[in-house]
Amino acid sequence: MLISIASGKGGTGKTALTLLLAAAHSDINVVDGDVEEPNCHLFLKPKSEGQRKDVTIMVPNIDADRCNGCGACAEVCLFNAIAITGGKALIFDELCHSCGGCMLKCPQDAIVEQRKSIGVITCGDSTTISSTRLMSGVLKIGVPSGVPLIKAIKKEAQGIVGDVLFDCPPGTSCSMVSAVKESDFCILVTEPTSFGKHDLELAMNITQLLEIDTGVVINKSDGGAGDEAIEAICRNRQIPVLAKIPYSLSFAREYSAGIIANDYQAIAKDIWRQIRPGGRAEA
């Protein structure tokens, strides 16, 4: 199974849940798709001799001698990544989505594509959890979108044998959508706050649109009105609440020190049981 762990907002505990689920599994692959700020390696501490792969995208390059400034390339670009100035076309790589339309449209054949590095994918065996492998994407500083790198990670992960936990970027932007696509199951992690409730509904809209089976985990649960509000949303949407992880100061201290606590292994194993085919995840 490919299980994506996502959240409508940052700081709800999706990485913490990913690690708890990994620790409760006898043989698992963890993919850190939060490419702007990956942090699973801080806990899993993969071996330094792990594999490393550069990821590139194709971006247009203008041949100034051929370009006559006709503007055909700028007209076809939907992302305003090309401007005509001084009688020549000027490319803004940061806005380019590598669609190739400008190259096809140019009547002077003045545009060719060249490779641009956007980040790396690293792989290695965990030294803290046995039989656990980690694949991480690290976006280069200054690259505005992590979507191409996330797609490259998912393509690389297709060759993985066994269950995969995909730690997604926070929020409900294009990066999160790319990460949860084609998942067998998506776990949405939320917190019993007004912000958590609001952003959970946005995330639910995404998984509903993508037609992905979804469950919710309430982290930092206090059993109060915040929990009840989350549960009401889940009932209305017919989405099961898989688990509640109680608020714990000691857990937070261990987590901030890079330690994967064993306090909630029973909860993690019960989540695994529910999301397996034939499990009893009920809304």
Inform me whether the pLDDT recorded for 90 exceeds 60: yes
* % of the chain beyond a pLDDT of 90: 78
Amino acid making up residue 9: K
Q: What is the pLDDT of residues 33-59, one digit of tens each?
A: 999 999 999 999 998 656 889 999 999
pLDDT confidence band for 282 (50 / 70 / 90): low
Which residues sit opposite 30 in a β-bridge? Answer: 134, 165
Please state, rounded to an integer, the average pLDDT across all residues of the chain.
92
Inform me whether the pLDDT recorded for 93 exceeds 90: no
Q: What is the pLDDT of residues 19-28, one digit of tens each?
A: 999 999 989 9
Q: What is the pLDDT of residues 105-152, one digit of tens each?
A: 999 999 999 999 999 999 999 999 889 999 999 999 989 889 999 999
pLDDT confidence band for 277 (50 / 70 / 90): confident
Please say whether the beta carbons of 197 and 175 come within 8 A.
no
pLDDT confidence band for 283 (50 / 70 / 90): low
pTM of the model: 0.89
Least Cα distance to 33 among 214, 195, 182 occurs for 182
CA distance 219 to 63: 54
Query: What pLDDT, on the 0 to 100 scale, is given for residue 51?
Result: 80
Least Cα distance to 216 among 194, 243, 238, 196 occurs for 243
* % of the chain beyond a pLDDT of 70: 97
Query: What pLDDT, on the 0 to 100 scale, is given for residue 159?
Result: 82
Query: What pLDDT, on the 0 to 100 scale, is given for residue 260?
Result: 84
Give per-residue burial for 50-67: e unless 16+ CB within 10 Å, then b: eeeeebebbbbebeeeeb
Report the side by side order of strands in the sheet with 185-190.
51-62, 111-125, 132-139, 28-32, 164-167, 2-6, 185-190, 214-221, 241-246
Length of the chain: 283
Q: What is the pLDDT of residues 64-77, one digit of tens each?
A: 999 999 999 999 99
